[in-house]
Structures are given as structure tokens and as C-alpha cells.
Structure 1
Amino acid sequence: MTELFTWIFAALFVLVIIAWYLSYTAARLDRLHVRLGGTLAALDARLVRRAEAAVELANSGLLDGATALLLATAAGESLESPSEHGEAREQAESDLTEALELALTPAVVEALRETPHGQDLVDKVGSACTRVQLARRFHNDAVTDVRRVRHKWTIRAFHLAGHTPLPSTVEFDDEMPSPLAT
């Protein structure tokens, strides 16, 4: 009889350990998904700030008309793009990056830095571009972490991710205009 109780106790102990491990793994995955949501929200906020800084620069009167129009159009498309990340949003952000690169040539940046207001605008755009790069990298790192954990056999076998779609990285050109990088 004691041998039977020993086997039952051992089986219950193993089941408790397995349940604890699955619970721990599910909680870890949940924390990673929460982190992923936070990084995506931070990226969205940084993209909006970059577009607003570009609009402010375009409306400052310190750029020539064609450059200001190009920059304002690209920034407006960025602000009006869908809030969920996809091809349309990524293309709008890449277009804004390209417009900033075209607008902020070394000569233009040098001329802007000669005025206090221009210096503030250049600093604001440069800071916004740097923050976009960082936010995108943090988000993509979070996506990589979630994907790595979700590929484990225990996550797949016990359906610990539920019906949550597998996240994807956000890919667009976020290179800072070269005159601002110095």
C-alpha cells in the first residue's frame, strides 16, 4: 500500500512541476507580448514626433518653397498613414526619410544653424530621427524575442500563445540625414 502511495505522490509531484513550468512559460510569453505592445506604441509616438518636427521645419519659412512643399507632403502622408503597421505605413515613413534626406543637404543645414530658430529646428528633427531609429530597433528586438520563444515546442504543443498572431518586424528606411549625424 505504501508503494502505491509513493507512486501516486510521485505522479502528482511530476504533474505539479509540469503545471508550474507551463504556467511560468505562459506568463513569460504574456510579459513579452505586453513588452511588444509597449515598444510598438513607443515607435508610433516617435514616428508622429518626427513627422511633426518635419512639418514644423517645412512651415518655418526657412526652406525654399519646393523643398518645404516636398517635406510637408511627405510628413503629412506619414501623419495620415494607417495607424497599424503594414506596407502603406512603412512606405510613408520611408518616403519621409527620403524627403528629409533631400531637404536637409549640408548647405541647407549649415544655413539653418546660423539662426537660433533654425538651430532649434535642426536639433528637433535630428533628435526625432535618432529616437525613431532607437524605437524601431527596440521594437524589432522585442519581435525577435517573442518569435524565438513562440518557436519552442512547449509553446506550440500546449498552444500557450492562443490565437495571437505571430508578430512581424517593422521595416522601413529610418536613416538619419547625413548632415544631422555629425
Structure 2
Amino acid sequence: MTVLSWVLIAILVVGLVAVFLSWTAGRLDRMHIRLTTAHASLDRQLIDRSSTVRDFAVSGLVDPAATLVLVEAADNARAAPGDEREDSEGELSRLLRTVLGPADAAGDVWERADAPHRELLADLVASCERVRYAHRFHNDLVERTQAMRRRPVVRLCRLAGRAPWPQPFEFDDAPPDGLTRLVGQAASGRAA
């Protein structure tokens, strides 16, 4: 082989490595963009849930003490600064389960509700489910982005640039089971 052949092979190898690194950096960049979008979506769903909880709390379907507690928790969740947001959102989920989680408590609320209030309860369940899906999607994307950033080639070549390390958003997102079952039964009864 001549010197020209070796030079061409070296250029080809360097070109392939450059293409691979560029492709990997682009993929990582797209993951970070998707993560930002997922975080914004989760934030929007959390705001919607706190608004729906507030609407439910002031609807007159629960006693005044539960109304005060739910309104305060919804307002705290909405206004909490970044480092306290996870705790506030988890507390809102726990309070919802306390008020509407037991089947008898949810059943009492459901029985007192007229058609517009039942629609509000269905919106509350749907809002809780959307939060759950957005939360899972966000945290799954965080895990995949972290795994990509842990790859040796990404770390060695600093392909992540100055992007911050992706952080999961951890909070209790379980919906009130009693109400979820009632709304599901009512929806299946209408479909039948």
C-alpha cells in the first residue's frame, strides 16, 4: 500500500469518527430538548390539577375543613418554589387520597353530586391521571438521558456541552382510588 492509500484510510476513519460523534451529540441534544418539553408538559399538568382541585374544593361537595385544607394545598403546590415543589405536589396527592381515596368517602361525595359536579369529579380524576402519565414520561426520559450522558464517549468528548445534569421530578402522584373507581364505573355504565 502506498502512502496515499494510508492517508485516504486515515481520512476515512477520522471522517467516520467525526460523523459518529456529530450524530451522538445531535441525538443527545434532541433528548435534552425533549426533556425540556416533557418538563414543561408536567408543569402544565400540575397547574391544571391544582386548579381542578381548587374548583372541586370550593364546589360544596366536601366539608368546610376539607375545603380549607385542599384549597391551601392546591395554592401551595401552585406557588411552591422549585426546591419545594415536589413536596407540595406530593402533599396535594396525599390530601386528595385522604379526602376521596376511601370508597365510602368517595361514594358519599359521588352521591351528593349532581350532573355538573359529577363532571367536575370526572375532570379531577382525568387531571390526576394526566399528571401521572406526564410524571412517568418525564422521569423515564430523565433516566434515558442520564444513561446516554454516562456513556464513555459522551463524557470523554464532552458532547453534553454545558447542559445541566437531568434531574427526575419525584413526588407522590397516586390518584384517589375510591373516586377513580366510581368515575370509571360511571363511565362504563354510560358506555353500556
Name the residue aligned to 1:98.
Answer: 94
Q: Which secondary structure state, in structure 2, belongs to the residue aligned with residue 45 of structure 1?
A: helix
State which of 104, 108, 113 in structure 2 corresponds to 1:111. 108
1:34 and 2:33 are equivalent in the alignment: yes
- TM norm structure 2: 0.89
Equivalent residues of 1:101, 1:176 under 8 A apart: yes
1:118, distance to aligned residue in structure 2 (A): 2.2
Equivalent residues of 2:107, 2:179 under 8 A apart: no
Structure 2: where are the runs of 5+ without partners?
Answer: 182-192
CA deviation profile, 1:105-150 (whole Å, cap 9, x unmatched): 4334223333112211210110011111110000011001101110
- CA distance in 2 between counterparts of 1:117 and 1:64 reads 18
Q: Which amino acid aligns with 1:97?
A: S
- CA distance in 1 between counterparts of 2:79 and 2:105 reads 27
- CA distance in 2 between counterparts of 1:125 and 1:54 reads 7
Identity rate, percent: 35
- CA distance in 2 between counterparts of 1:34 and 1:180 reads 36
Query: Which moves more between the two structures, 15-24 or 115-124?
Result: 115-124
Count residues in correspondence.
178
Equivalent residues of 1:97, 1:174 under 8 A apart: yes
Q: Which amino acid aligns with 1:150?
A: R
1:159, distance to aligned residue in structure 2 (A): 0.4
- CA distance in 2 between counterparts of 1:79 and 1:68 reads 16
1:98, distance to aligned residue in structure 2 (A): 1.2
- CA distance in 2 between counterparts of 1:77 and 1:66 reads 17
Q: Which secondary structure state, in structure 2, belongs to the residue aligned with residue 23 of structure 1?
A: helix
- CA distance in 2 between counterparts of 1:27 and 1:39 reads 18
1:16 and 2:12 are equivalent in the alignment: no
Equivalent residues of 1:90, 1:172 under 8 A apart: yes
1:134 and 2:130 are equivalent in the alignment: no
Name the residue aligned to 1:172.
Answer: 171
- TM norm structure 1: 0.93
Q: Which amino acid aligns with 2:92?
A: L
Q: Which amino acid aligns with 2:110?
A: R
Structure 1: where are the runs of 5+ without partners?
Answer: none
- CA distance in 1 between counterparts of 2:103 and 2:71 reads 20
The alignment's C-alpha RMSD in Å is 1.3
